[in-house]
Structure 1
Amino acid sequence: MQSVYAEIKRVVNNSADGTLFFPDDFASIGSSDAVRAALVRLCRSGILLRVAQGIYFSPKVDTKWGSGTIPPSIEEIAEGIAKRDKVRIVPTGVYALNLLGLSTQIPGNVVFVTDGSGRKINIGPGKGILFKHTSEMRIFAYRSQVMSLIVMALREIGENNVTDQHLSIIKQHLSTISQEDFQKDIQLAPIWVRKMLLRL
Structure 2
Amino acid sequence: MSIMQQVRERIEQAQPGQLLTYADFQVNDSQLEALAAALSRLAKQGVVNRLAKGRYYKPKETVFGKVRPSEREIIKSLSTSKGEVKGYESGLGLYNQLGLTTQVPQEVTLMTRKQRRVANVGKTKVRYVQSPTNFKESDIDKLQVLDALRGYKKIPDRNSEKTILILLKYIKELAERDMDRLIELALDYNPATRALLGALLERLGFTEEADRLRQSLNPLTKYKLGISESILHNRKDWNII
CA distance in 2, matches of 1:38, 1:91: 31
1:100 and 1:131 mapped to 2: Cα distance? 20
Q: 1:142 to 1:196 in 2, by over 3 A?
A: farther
Counterpart of 2:51, as a letter, is V
How is 1:70-109 mapped onto 2 (pairs within 5 angstroms)? 71-84=68-81, 88-109=86-107
The one-letter code sitting in structure 2 at the alignment partner of 1:151 is: L
The corresponding residue for 1:194 is: 197
Contact 2:3 2:35 in 1 (8 A): yes
Q: Distance in 2 between matches of 1:180 and 1:172?
A: 13
One-letter amino acid of the counterpart of residue 137, structure 1: T
Q: Secondary structure at the match of 1:101?
A: coil
Equivalent residues of 1:49, 1:58 under 8 A apart: yes
Cα distance, 1:76–1:142 mapped onto 2, change above 3 Å: same
Contact 2:113 2:130 in 1 (8 A): yes
The residue matched to 2:43 in structure 1 has which SS?
Answer: helix
The count of residues paired between Structure 1 and Structure 2 equals 191
SS of 2:5 mapped into structure 1: helix
Provide the C-alpha distance between the structure 1 equivalents of 2:145 and 2:56, rounded to a whole number of angstroms: 31
After superposition, the CA RMSD in angstroms is 3.8
1:6 aligned residue: 5
Closer, same or farther: CA 91–29 of 1 in aligned 2, 3 Å: same
Q: Distance in 2 between matches of 1:69 and 1:118?
A: 30
| 1:19 shift after superposition | 4.6
Q: Which residue of 1 aligns with 2:214?
A: none
Identity rate, percent = 25
Q: How far off its partner does 1:153 sit?
A: 1.2
Stretch moving more, 21-30 or 79-88: 21-30
Q: Distance in 2 between the 1:196 and 1:59 partners?
A: 51
Q: 1:112 aligns with which of 110, 113, 116?
A: 110
SS of 1:79's equivalent in the other structure is helix
Match of 1:151 in 2: 146
Q: Residue 87 and residue 145 in structure 1: after superposition, are their counterparts in 2 closer, same or farther (change >3 A)?
A: closer
For residues 14 and 160 of structure 2, what CA distance do their matches in structure 1 show? Answer: 46
Q: Larger relative CO (CA 8 A, sep 6+): 1 or 2?
A: 1
Of stretches 103-112 and 179-188 in structure 1, the one that deviates more from structure 2 is 179-188
Quickly say closer, same or farther: Cα 1:59–1:167, change in 2 above 3 A.
Answer: farther
Report SS of the residue matched to 1:186: helix
Kept in 1: contact 2:174–2:182 (CA 8 A): no
Closer, same or farther in 2 for the Cα pair 1:92/1:29, shift >3 Å?
Answer: same
Gap regions ≥5 residues in structure 2: 187-192, 205-241
Unmatched 5+ residue regions in structure 1? none
Q: TM-score, normalised by structure 2?
A: 0.60
Give the aligned partner of residue 218 of structure 2: none
Q: Contact 1:23/1:54 (CA < 8 Å) preserved in 2?
A: no
Q: 1:72, 1:93 → 2: CA distance? A: 21
